[in-house]
Structure formats: structure tokens, C-alpha cells
A and B are shown apart, each in its own frame.
Chain A
């Protein structure tokens, strides 16, 4: 197989060996689940249950009228203890439903659909009903993605099995353990968006997963598996399309502009479950890893489980971690309170030591070496953008394409003086957007 790739990017240490061979285990039910009412991109939800209500697993507990939004279902049976602001992994308090898990578990859900229901409308409706969002990390509502404008035909669906973030192995394990579900979900997406070609994209370091998927895909007519070089950020939507289809998504546009659709492996599986089995999204696979974790694991976790419980299930900390991160090490959020819950977009919980990460003063000066320019996968000039941010030149930032930054962190990763480039550019994007709104 020919290896596909894109220009730019970096090669961070992969560190996947810590958890790659660990079969997915089911984490025990915690006594308390914390469910933030805004864990997706779009309008926040309003609870449809009250304090003191008894809920069953799979029951709808929060919904919204807005189109760009995804409902929330109870991950376990129990009693609603409170609806109050609780700390989330981003460091701010978000209104959350606090659920006290009861001893007896009872399951409910949506009605399973059959072969007769295989229409684009029904698949989209089911994605919304089941509360599906992109499980790769961005948490964009899936039914919105499945509804591209009718004048933009989509010919290819790409399933993103790259998992280019270091440490994370949850998608890799799912590709090994549930390949049939991926193919089944891919077929659903192809029907929903009217595409006639499905491609599963896997990075070279997960060759065995690619082979397993390929064995099943060979029996299908329109589905193939391709391998890409291992490079960060291959899992970024735009870079996946560039590498596999050699099409460039224009600045500021979405993938449907070039007739492509990208979905993460785990979301694809969740869609297949929601459609054929009627299971709403109440759990996801999370990688708990890092040097400071006693036994790194891949865990099937109920949404709302506090990070503390998962770390304890993995044997606790082997030594005091220097940094604990929600998500991948390149784009994740560092957390300071371990009671924050797993949400739909949480792909990993990493407890890291100095050596794996660096701590230190980042307010350094630029050496003008230009490495960030070579690393930037969207061909921006990170150093120029950072300096314009410090100078407060918003016109200049817009002209230099600050809004095209995908915040992958490649520039900050290669910077020899460790300047906080992403932080500066992210602030610049915020400023440019704020002025555009005026």
C-alpha cells in the first residue's frame, strides 16, 4: 500500500506503547455522575428532569430546540441530586446535572431501526435523537454534519482512524475490537450524505488495525482502507482530505465544499449502535495513560464519571504527576481538580511527568530560526502572528490569515525557546472574530 501524507506537521514521541496492548475494560459505575449541559459545540441544553426525579439509563434528561445542539441521556439509573454549576475540564463552572447512581440499574433507550428505515432523513434524525457528537474531541453535533447543503454533493466519506495525538489509543483499540461496527456505521453515513465511496484512513503505526479493517472492507464494494504516514496532525479534517483525496479545503470553508465528509472512528461506531440497537450516546472509550499512572488502560466509561474515579481504577498515581491533561497532549486542557467529569469529547486523561512535558517560563524571545514556519501544516507564519498579537495589530492578523490556524500546536512544539505561540494565536483569533461580529 502506498503511504499518503501532507506537507508540514511534526513528529512528537508517540508513547502509545503504554496502553496500546490493553484490551478495553469497562470502568465501574461511580456513585455520582456530573453531566455538564454544554458538552458540544452549539446551544447549551435545558434540563427536562427536575431535582429529585428518578431517571433510568438511556432516558432523555436534557434537550434544546436549537438545530446546532445535541441532547443528553442519563448514563445510568439514579436520582437527580442537583442541577447546579460544576467545574468542568476547561476550568470554568458549567451548569450540570448531578446524578446519584442507584444500586439497581434499569435500561431504556430508543427503538432499534431496521433495513426499511435506511433513508438519509431517518439516519440524521437518529443521530440527533441519540445525542451524537464528534467523539474525536471537537464534539460537533453529528446530525448537523450529516446535513450538508443540497447543492454540494458529497462523493467520499473518510473515516478518521489516524489518532495522531500521542498517548491516545482508544480509537486504535476500537478498530481492533469492533471493526464490523465501523464498517456498518460507515455504510450509514454513506447513505445519509449520498456518497458512493467510503475510505477508512489509518496511520502507518496502526498497520494491524488497518489489516483487520481491510479484511472486512474487501468484501464490500465501495469501501477501502488506506494507510498514511505517521505524522501529527494527520487526524485533522483538512489534512486528511488533502492526504487521501488530494483536495484542498478552501480557507474558511468546510469539507463539503470539496465533496468530502470526515468522521471519527468512535462516532461511526456510536452511530451504528444508535441506529441498529437504539442505544443513545451514554458512554465512550477513554485512554488513561502517562508515566505517572500505575496501570495505563483503555476504559469504556459512562459520561459524567469524575476523572478521580478512573485514575483510581487504574491503580492511582504511581508518583505525583507534574501535569494532568484532559484530551491529547497536543490539544488537550490541563486540569487542576480531579473531580471534573468525562464528557462526550474526552478522548484521554493523561498524568504526565517532567521529561514527557516541559514546565518553565515561556515568556521568551524569538530567535527567528523559522522552525515554526516549516512545522505549520496550514502554511501560516506563527512567529509573525504571535508578534502581531503582542502588538495588538488586528488588521494585520486578519490579513496574515490568523483565522486559518487549526490550533494543532505544531509551532509551539518545535519552538526552541518554547514561546506560547498557540496561546497567542488563539487569542488573536478571538480578537479578530470579536471585531468581525461588530
Chain B
């Protein structure tokens, strides 16, 4: 056996790899792209889940935008004040402490056992598809469809569906990124201030009689709560609207609400 062949082959391959490696090493020095070290530092304090809630293509895009001044230091909605503070520290600027934190609330309080249904839905179990085509099995055109698209969309697993097929938010896991808010085809999930004292658990714009004919828990626009506390509560398009700027507390309205859709809130 001619051992020389082995050495020849090893030498050839080794030589080639050395040559190629040298070219690559040279290229990496010569063709180096200047990355702003600040971007990497900012990226390291961002959550890194690439949820896209800030509107940028992932956390790297957000970091670039923040450093370039195209986005504010608190652009990361998922990170909240802690991340904003960390980003501000990296950038060397002062972070303003955000007072008005928000929390997601489902503006529907239907009871799936009582609510009037069209029939049996045997399509795709997805709210977006159901809403676009058959509108699910509820007679109410505003109520929660219950197929859990918000749960599937949540990047932080903060949503679970309860036995009534309504989403429940785990505020410890929730980062207020707002993906569920934009996912819900009926716009039922909306942010309210964390210190809010009232929520309205209905979104139906139908008149009272029509609401009652399909759901016993809907807002019938009777206006009793508005009469009890006119400051901060109003009726717009057959539904009670709460002005969170004034942040009303209305125990008499809650007590007198005939369908119990106006409820006290605690984050």
C-alpha cells in the first residue's frame, strides 16, 4: 500500500482549506459591514420574542429603528416599562415613568349555554374564517365567537379559554403587545387602564329588544347607569361608553344594570 496517496490527499485538502480559509478571513476584514454597537446592545435588552407588535420586522428591526431615532425608546410594547427603562439606560437618556398601564378586556360577557344560536357550526374552528363566511353559530353579530383565534395568536401564551369558551387574560404573562386586540375579528378585546373601575361586557350596537332576543347578558341601552352617573358614562350607538379619562366608579349603575353587563373592574 502506497501511504503517500493518503498524505497527498490530506495535504491537498488541507492546503485547499487553508487557502479558502485565508480568503474568507481576509474578506471578513476587508468587507466588514459596520454594525452600530449600540444596535446590538439595544437588541440584547429587548425581549427577543419577535412578536412584531411594535410594527417592525422583529426585535432586530426594532433595535435598528430605536437607534436610528425612527422609533421611541419605549417602542417595544411587549416589554413594557422595564424594557423601556433598560433601552433608555443603553441609549443614555432619561426614561419617563409611565403611569397609565393598560390591561386587555374582552368586551363581551355572554353565557354560551343561554345565548341564542343559529344552529350547529361545523366549519373551521377559527374566528377569522367563521366571521368572514358564516359568522359562526351565534345569532348576536357582535358577540365572542369562541373559536380561540386570540389564544392562538398570543405570542406569550397569556390567553386561556374558559369553560364558557371566552378568553381569560393572565396579566402576569401578558405584555400588552396588542396582538390579540388586532386579531379579534369582532374587535371585542380592547385595552382599558389598569386602574379602571368599570367595564362594559358587551359590544352590541343593536337596539335593546333585538339584544334581549339573542342574549340575556347584553347591553340593552336602557340608560339607567347613565342616569345614575352621567359624569363619565354615555350612550353611543345603543351601547354604554365609559370615559376612562374621567374613570368613573358607579356602584349604583352596576347595581341597577338590568342585564348585569356593567361590571366593576379590578386588574
Q: Which residues of A contact B (CB under 8 A)?
A: 91-93, 334, 336-337, 359-363, 420, 423-424, 426-427, 430
Decide: B124 and A424 in contact? CB cutoff 8 A.
Answer: yes
Extra contacts, 6 of them, besides A423-B123, A424-B129 (Cβ < 8 A), are: A91-B134, A92-B135, A336-B139, A360-B122, A423-B133, A424-B124
Q: For B147, give the chain A residue with the smallest CB separation.
A: A363
Q: For A426, give the chain B residue with the smallest CB separation.
A: B133
Decide: A420 and B134 in contact? CB cutoff 8 A.
Answer: no
20 interchain pairs, CB-CB under 8 A: A91-B118, A91-B135, A92-B135, A93-B141, A334-B134, A336-B119, A337-B118, A359-B122, A361-B122, A362-B122, A362-B124, A363-B125, A420-B123, A423-B124, A423-B129, A424-B124, A426-B133, A427-B124, A427-B128, A430-B132
Q: Report the bound CA distance from A424 to B126 in whole Å.
A: 10
Interface residues in B102-153 by Cβ distance below 8 A to A read 118-120, 122-125, 128-129, 132-135, 139, 141
Chain B residues within an 8 Å CB radius of A93: 141
Contact of B133 among A361, A363, A427 (CB under 8 A): A427
Q: For B120, give the chain A residue with the smallest CB separation.
A: A359
Q: Report the bound CA distance from A362 to B128 in whole Å.
A: 17
Decide: A362 and B119 in contact? CB cutoff 8 A.
Answer: no
Contact of A420 among B124, B135, B139, B141 (CB under 8 A): B124
Q: Report the bound CA distance from A311 to B122 in whole Å.
A: 25
Chain B residues within an 8 Å CB radius of A423: 123-124, 129, 133
Q: Report the bound CA distance from A92 to B118 in whole Å.
A: 12
Chain A residues within an 8 Å CB radius of B119: 334, 336
Chain B residues within an 8 Å CB radius of A91: 118, 134-135
Q: Report the bound CA distance from A128 to B153 in whole Å.
A: 47
For B, the interface residue count at a CB cutoff of 8 angstroms equals 15
Q: Report the bound CA distance from A427 to B132 in whole Å.
A: 7
Chain A residues within an 8 Å CB radius of B132: 426-427, 430
Encoded as 1 (CB less than 8 Å from any A CB) or 0, chain B from 214 to 238 comes to: 0000000000000000000000000
Quote the shortest CB–CB distance from B108 to chain A (angstroms): 19
Tell whether A363 pairs with B124 under 8 Å between CB atoms, given A92-B135, A426-B133: yes
Tally of A-B residue pairs with Cβ under 8 A? Answer: 38
Chain A residues within an 8 Å CB radius of B128: 427
| B contact patch SS | loop
Chain B residues within an 8 Å CB radius of A359: 120, 122
Quote the shortest CB–CB distance from B137 to chain A (angstroms): 9
Q: Report the bound CA distance from A363 to B129 in whole Å.
A: 13
Chain B residues within an 8 Å CB radius of A337: 118
Q: For B139, give the chain A residue with the smallest CB separation.
A: A336
Chain B residues within an 8 Å CB radius of A424: 124, 129
Chain B residues within an 8 Å CB radius of A363: 124-125
Chain A residues within an 8 Å CB radius of B118: 91, 336-337
Q: Report the bound CA distance from A336 to B132 in whole Å.
A: 17
Chain B residues within an 8 Å CB radius of A360: 122
Quote the shortest CB–CB distance from A326 to chain B (angstroms): 13
Quote the shortest CB–CB distance from A99 to chain B (angstroms): 22
Q: Report the bound CA distance from A334 to B133 in whole Å.
A: 11
Contact of A92 among B123, B125, B129, B141 (CB under 8 A): B141
Q: Report the bound CA distance from A430 to B185 in whole Å.
A: 14
Q: Report the bound CA distance from A430 to B129 in whole Å.
A: 10
Quote the shortest CB–CB distance from B34 to chain A (angstroms): 32
Q: For A421, give the chain B residue with the smallest CB separation.
A: B124
By Cβ-Cβ distance, the 3 closest A-B pairs, closest first, are: A336-B118, A427-B129, A362-B122
Quote the shortest CB–CB distance from B250 to chain A (angstroms): 32
Q: Report the bound CA distance from A377 to B64 in whole Å.
A: 49
Quote the shortest CB–CB distance from B131 to chain A (angstroms): 10
Chain B residues within an 8 Å CB radius of A336: 118-119, 139
Chain B CB within 10 Å, residue with most, of A336, A361, A424 = A336
Q: Report the bound CA distance from A359 to B121 in whole Å.
A: 9
Quote the shortest CB–CB distance from B195 to chain A (angstroms): 36
Chain A CB within 10 Å, residue with most, of B122, B123, B134 = B122
Q: For B117, give the chain A residue with the smallest CB separation.
A: A336
Chain B residues within an 8 Å CB radius of A430: 132
Chain A residues within an 8 Å CB radius of B135: 91-92
Q: Report the bound CA distance from A427 to B128 in whole Å.
A: 9
Q: For A363, give the chain B residue with the smallest CB separation.
A: B125
Q: Report the bound CA distance from A360 to B120 in whole Å.
A: 9
Quote the shortest CB–CB distance from A434 to chain B (angstroms): 10
Chain A residues within an 8 Å CB radius of B125: 363
Q: Report the bound CA distance from A359 to B134 in whole Å.
A: 16
Q: Report the bound CA distance from A360 to B121 in whole Å.
A: 9
Quote the shortest CB–CB distance from B59 to chain A (angstroms): 20
Q: For B121, give the chain A residue with the smallest CB separation.
A: A362
Quote the shortest CB–CB distance from A145 to chain B (angstroms): 26
Quote the shortest CB–CB distance from A340 to chain B (angstroms): 12
Q: Report the bound CA distance from A426 to B133 in whole Å.
A: 8
Q: Report the bound CA distance from A427 to B123 in whole Å.
A: 12
Quote the shortest CB–CB distance from A149 to chain B (angstroms): 32
Q: Report the bound CA distance from A424 to B139 in whole Å.
A: 22
Chain B residues within an 8 Å CB radius of A427: 124, 128-129, 132-133
Quote the shortest CB–CB distance from B55 to chain A (angstroms): 15
Chain A residues within an 8 Å CB radius of B129: 423-424, 427
Chain B residues within an 8 Å CB radius of A361: 122
Chain A CB within 10 Å, residue with most, of B120, B133, B141 = B133
Q: Report the bound CA distance from A93 to B205 in whole Å.
A: 13
Chain A CB within 10 Å, residue with most, of B118, B120, B124 = B124
Quote the shortest CB–CB distance from A419 to chain B (angstroms): 9
Q: Report the bound CA distance from A430 to B124 in whole Å.
A: 15
Q: Report the bound CA distance from A180 to B245 in whole Å.
A: 73
Chain A residues within an 8 Å CB radius of B124: 362-363, 420, 423-424, 427
Chain B residues within an 8 Å CB radius of A92: 135, 141
Q: Report the bound CA distance from A65 to B141 in whole Å.
A: 31
Chain B CB within 10 Å, residue with most, of A91, A337, A360 = A91
Quote the shortest CB–CB distance from B182 to chain A (angstroms): 14
Q: Report the bound CA distance from A334 to B118 in whole Å.
A: 10
Quote the shortest CB–CB distance from B248 to chain A (angstroms): 32
Q: Report the bound CA distance from A337 to B135 in whole Å.
A: 14
Q: Report the bound CA distance from A426 to B132 in whole Å.
A: 9
